[in-house]
Amino acid sequence: MKRLRALLCGAATAALATAGLTALATDQAAGATADTSALGNRWYAAAPYLMPQDNNPPDAGAIMDATGLKAFQLAFVLAPNGGGCTPTWDGTSPVSSDTAVASVISAIRAKGGDVSASIGGYGGTKLGQACPDAASTAAAYQQVVTKYQLKAIDFDLEEPEYENTAAIAHEIGAAKILQQNNPGLYVSVTTAGTADGTGWFGKQMLNEAKTQGFTPNNFSIMPFDGGFNGAAAQTSALTNFNTILQSTFGWNADTAYAHEGFSGMNGRSDTGEYFSQADFQTVLDYATGHHMDRFTFWSLNRDRQCTPVDNNGQTSGTCSSVAQSSWDFAKYSVKFAGATPPTTPPPGSRDAYATIQAESYDTQSGLTAETTTDTGGGQDLATAANGDYALYKGVSFGSTAATQFLARVASGAAGGVSGLVEVRIDSRTSAPVGSFAVASTGGWQSWRTVPANISGVTGTHDVYLTFTSGQPADFVSVNWFDFGH
């Protein structure tokens, strides 16, 4: 399964290695503040995937504030692109010298959350392929567990690695060693899903686990990119996978469900399938109704609306290609964990780089919300004239400066009537950081996407859209806006 991650984004020796791992596990982690009170396993089981260094990573703290989410599945730990049996992030950033991901982890823990690390994935070279045996593979992963003081880890075993028998034996063996040497470590194994549950290679992976006597907290399948048509096809695949787990391990149905997980993809998949919020709710109901162990998805980087909404029929690593509010899909993970997402977004939870609907203002003057015929439907903010404004509190720009502003506007103003759409920070009377001029677009529902450059903005701020014109007449309507780098 692609998941658009590669686009943006002898017995004595083994015994010695195992002893070394035990000693290594006692070392103090460097670079990430530990959370001495780990979350319950249900949160690790619900943790959605987040790429912290690629695919326009969102602010994890803002997601936590907006949804109540407490756990994140950070992706992906790989072998170095240049070769070797040492862990890196995405094949390029050595774990040993990492400070960037450690900073993300520390920020999450400072807000009461925690992380799991996912190893493998679709792209890059996996450590099971690069390392000569299970013990050395485990030693590489132990560096990750120790550095970040992890309480959970995910083995994402898929093509092409899971077609390599030796590599899969290394990965399963490493998972077993980690489980033995890190008591209480939550371990999930994720693999491709098919209509029958999982394919031949997935079944071979399960047989390898049985042969090695390894039982993780769960085996999860990814029922997408395989001709799935919404939630009904996904729940059917989960039922079939349960049967496979029963026959492989000799479990009854309830025990199999207690070791089964779901890993979905929100919005448009790589192969053009679509999974909506309603589909996620249906699968969530199935998972909780059958007491499954895990419910997660790929990815939080995609859990925001594209511009345009359908992304011109393309799949993106940074947005979902379906109509949504930011972090809609994360809320299903929160529900699986047994928590209740907040009903109103708290201040500071708006992501500057996700679509902000104009009608979602905190306060406004002189404007009117109306039904729009623009792509995606919903409402726009109309009747903007000189002196009008809308306030959007707590917009998070992150640490990398935003330098672009993009707005979807329409105008049916009479000839000679025009004005400026301006962006101001923290005060309606502060100097604009950017603006663009707009005149008639041919009608009040004739929509155009207009870009503008802005002065670099970082941090979290209240954003004012102000409207200035030399004429008193209405001159523009706004459907949505966002920012960029």
Give the whole-angstrom CA distance, residue 395 versus residue 355: 11
Least Cα distance to 356 among 395, 298, 310, 397 occurs for 395
DSSP state of 425: E
376 neighbors 325 (Cβ within 8 angstroms): no
Q: Which residues pair with 262 in a beta bridge?
A: 221, 295
Least Cα distance to 401 among 281, 306, 485 occurs for 485
Give the whole-angstrom CA distance, residue 44 versus residue 167: 26
218 neighbors 188 (Cβ within 8 angstroms): yes
Structure tokens at 41: 């396993």
Give the whole-angstrom CA distance, residue 357 versus residue 392: 10
DSSP one-letter string for 451-484: EEEEEEE-SEEEEEEEEE-SSSS--EEEEEEEEE
Tell me the residue length of the chain: 485
Least Cα distance to 120 among 102, 144, 98, 101 occurs for 144
Least Cα distance to 73 among 155, 147, 7 occurs for 155
> Which of 158, 161, 273, 422 is an active site residue?
158
Q: Is 158 a catalytic residue?
A: yes
Ranges of H-type helices in 48-133: 60-67, 100-110, 127-130
Least Cα distance to 219 among 265, 169, 261 occurs for 261
Structure tokens at 166: 């030796």
Compute how many other C-beta atoms are within 10 angstroms of the C-beta atom of residue 250. Answer: 10
Positions annotated as catalytic residues are: 158
